[in-house]
Amino acid sequence: MYTYRTLTAGLLALTFAGLGMTTLVKEWKSGMVWPEPEVITPGDSNAPPSDAIVLFDGSNLDAWKGGEKWKIEDGYAISQGGGIATKEKFGDIQLHLEWASPEKVTSRGQGRGNSGVYFMGQYEVQILDSYENETYFDGQAGSIYKQSPPMVNACRPPGEWQTYDIMWTAPRFEEDGSVKSPAVITVIHNGVVVQNNYELQGTTHWHKPPGYVKHAETGPISLQFHGNPVRFRNIWVRNIQPIVGEMPVEETETVTEN
């Protein structure tokens, strides 16, 4: 049975033969020695991957500071009484959460289903009922608040469940506090990419421009209470660590003169 690789090699051999040359085509290899990738169970639409840290499975908010303020019913948590933050701190992560704005619309603009998910307690991805709801674009659902509007509005109608899948790379700082590399984020809203490797300009605020101030390498994930009873369910996170290989050191022969 011929594979694409053998057919390609054969064509190269024929080409060289037609030019009156004989050569051998050898597969290129980097020489890098890679560790074997860990085997995990990816899960499905209702279950997290086997290596995920479950932050809320519908039963309790024990993983969160301030979780006792929020109401839990029918497998989801309802925001009330203030924001909550994870007890565990994270750096580079993949985050999955599902949220739903109130089904009954009683306000407009920033008053409709307003909440937010904060990384390291300082960088916000906006949660908002943006279905047929006019507001400033860098404040609608899927935006990096006051920095970057979503590329498209992928919001479902009020009351329906929405998903965020977010890849977060934390900023790095030099010893003197200057930015070595900015925070980078990709946001997928209801299966649609709305932020693609966006480099944050700094922390997010409603009353002042963004800016970086050196902070710890890890920080909590926070969910905002903005006066609206936004619901949440199925929240989990995975720590992201790049796989690292090694290039073998070539041994050199030592010649000793007598």
Where do the structural domains in the chain lie, given as residue ranges? Answer: 1-27, 53-239
CA 28/CA 25 separation, integer angstroms: 9
CA 94/CA 92 separation, integer angstroms: 7
Using DSSP bridges, classify how beta strands 184-189 and 162-169 pair: parallel, antiparallel or unpaired.
antiparallel
Give Cβ neighbours of residue 237 (< 8 Å, ≥ 6 apart).
52, 53, 55, 90, 93, 94, 95, 96, 221
- Nearest one of 106, 105, 100, 95 to 79, comparing CA atoms: 100
Query: Would you place residue 4 in the very low, low, confident or very high pLDDT band (cuts 50, 70, 90)?
Result: very low
pLDDT of 89 reads 98
pLDDT of 18 reads 52
pLDDT tens string 72-102: 999 999 999 999 999 999 999 999 999 999 9
pLDDT of 106 reads 83
Range 190-209 average pLDDT: 95
pLDDT of 117 reads 98
CA 171/CA 119 separation, integer angstroms: 11
pLDDT of 147 reads 97
| Residue 251: pLDDT over 50 | yes
CA 203/CA 170 separation, integer angstroms: 12
Virtual torsion, Cα 152, 228, 58, 132, nearest 10 deg: -30
CA 80/CA 239 separation, integer angstroms: 28
| Residue 1: pLDDT over 90 | no
pLDDT of 162 reads 97
% of the chain residues with pLDDT over 70: 87
CA 226/CA 85 separation, integer angstroms: 14
Q: pTM for the complete prediction?
A: 0.84
Query: Would you place residue 13 in the very low, low, confident or very high pLDDT band (cuts 50, 70, 90)?
Result: very low
SS3 15: helix
Domain 53-239 fold = Jelly Rolls (2.60.120)
pLDDT tens string 14-66: 444 555 556 688 899 888 898 888 888 888 777 899 999 999 999 999 999 99
| Residue 8: pLDDT over 50 | no
Of 107 and 109, more confident: 109
pLDDT of 202 reads 96
For the chain, the average pLDDT equals: 89
Whether residue 232 contacts residue 187, with contact meaning beta carbons closer than 8 Å, is answered with: no
